[in-house]
């Protein structure tokens, strides 16, 4: 049913020796959602994906897949999953049909249903004309399509895709993104990526992982509201002290980006341009530039992932 939780992760940790790759991760995936897991290389995304798929045991914490604990009931949990790792598990010497038939049997599809399952997966992934072709002779984009086809061959409720567009050209990237959007009509999808436009193109919910910890959890609509907020770029011939600008109501933070030039981070919904002009006249700051600067997803990502790891999270950023 709508809103049903298909994936639940509680207090997940993974250590490699003394190094903590995943640090107290908790989140849920609802039916029908496309969850974008965003982070820089080395942030812990692939380690998280491997634990979610049952290919790596957590050091601590619990994972439920479609209501089944992945450690206590691995067969039932994995039956509800389709997984495309960052390196597609392809047998390059097989044809597409041979490989998908093999994957169908591995995924528990009955012999009687295999032909229909293979045909359905090929159709959904745009592989109808590629069935007799050897996988090793396919382009990188078509190999990714075969990888996705093996992940959905058994009609799982949850599909996990780890960096599905890495190494593809722009046309192939667009095709794979379209395919992911189509998958979301029948499956819940977790998409791991470090490519920001990928999140905006296909995801309904966004989570940012930094140093193994979840530092932002928001819907795409919530993220877009953040991006509609405007910073102010202001330049003065007789510049004020940073503390004077920080004292203005609605100013959350001030960066001095050049002598006499500042970026004012303004709270959502606040309009400070007129007040800043008036204050500049009253105090003789000689304002000569005032520009609204829309916040981009890249700015949000950079700000969150470069802030001091001990700094408190803003409201709505933690899971």
The number of folded domains in the chain is: 2
List per-block mean pLDDT (blocks of 10 residues) for the chain, which spans 319 residues. 78 95 93 88 88 93 94 93 90 97 94 95 92 95 93 93 84 85 85 83 89 87 69 93 92 92 84 90 95 75 64 41
CATH number for the domain that contains residue 279: 3.30.70.100
Which of these three, 155, 180, 202, is where a domain ends?
155
Rounded Cα distance, 206 and 51, in Å: 19
* DSSP string for residues in 76-93: HHHHTEEEE-SS----TT
Amino acid 307: pLDDT: 62
- Indicate the pTM of the whole model: 0.74
Does residue 61 lie in a domain region? no
Q: Residue 207 falls within a domain, yes or no?
A: no
Half-sphere exposure of 119 (CA within 13 A, CB side): 5
Q: Give a yes or no: residue 299 inside a domain.
A: no
Asked whether residue 307 is domain-assigned, the answer is no
Residue range(s) defining the domain that contains residue 261: 230-294
In a domain, 98, yes or no: yes
291's enclosing H/E stretch is strand 287-294
3-state helix, strand, coil in the chain (%, to 5): 35, 30, 35
Helix residue spans in the chain (DSSP H): 45-52, 74-79, 96-106, 111-124, 140-152, 170-183, 196-202, 220-228, 242-246, 273-283, 297-306
Residue 249 lies in a domain: yes
């Amino acid at each position: 049913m709508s809103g049903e939780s298909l994936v639940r992760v509680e207090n997940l940790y993974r250590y490699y020796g003394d190094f903590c790759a995943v640090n107290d991760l908790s989140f849920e995936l609802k039916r029908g959602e496309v969850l974008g897991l965003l982070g820089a290389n080395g942030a812990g995304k692939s380690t998280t994906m491997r634990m979610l798929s049952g290919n790596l045991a957590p050091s601590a914490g619990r994972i439920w897949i479609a209501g089944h604990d992945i450690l206590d009931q691995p067969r039932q949990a994995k039956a509800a999953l389709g997984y495309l790792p960052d390196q597609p598990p392809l047998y390059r010497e097989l044809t597409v049909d041979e490989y998908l038939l093999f994957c169908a049997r591995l995924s528990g599809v009955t012999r009687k249903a295999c032909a229909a399952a293979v045909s359905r997966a090929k159709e959904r992934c745009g592989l109808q004309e590629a069935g007799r072709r050897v996988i090793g002779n396919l382009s990188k984009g078509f190999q990714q399509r075969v990888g996705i086809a093996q992940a959905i061959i058994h009609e799982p409720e949850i599909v996990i895709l780890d960096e599905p567009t890495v190494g593809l050209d722009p046309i192939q990237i667009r095709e794979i993104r379209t395919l992911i959007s189509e998958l979301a009509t029948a499956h819940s999808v977790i998409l791991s990526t470090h490519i920001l436009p990928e999140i905006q193109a296909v995801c309904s919910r966004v989570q940012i992982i930094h140093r193994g910890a979840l530092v932002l959890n928001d819907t795409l609509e919530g993220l877009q509201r953040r991006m509609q907020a405007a910073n102010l770029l202001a330049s003065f011939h007789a510049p004020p002290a940073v503390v004077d600008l920080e004292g203005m109501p609605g100013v959350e933070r001030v960066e001095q980006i050049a002598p006499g030039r500042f970026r004012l981070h303004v709270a959502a919904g606040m309009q400070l341009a007129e007040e800043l002009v008036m204050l500049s006249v009253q105090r003789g700051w000689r304002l000569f530039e005032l520009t609204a600067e829309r916040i981009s997803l890249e700015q949000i990502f950079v700000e969150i992932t470069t802030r001091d790891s001990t700094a408190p999270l803003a409201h709505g950023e933690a899971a």
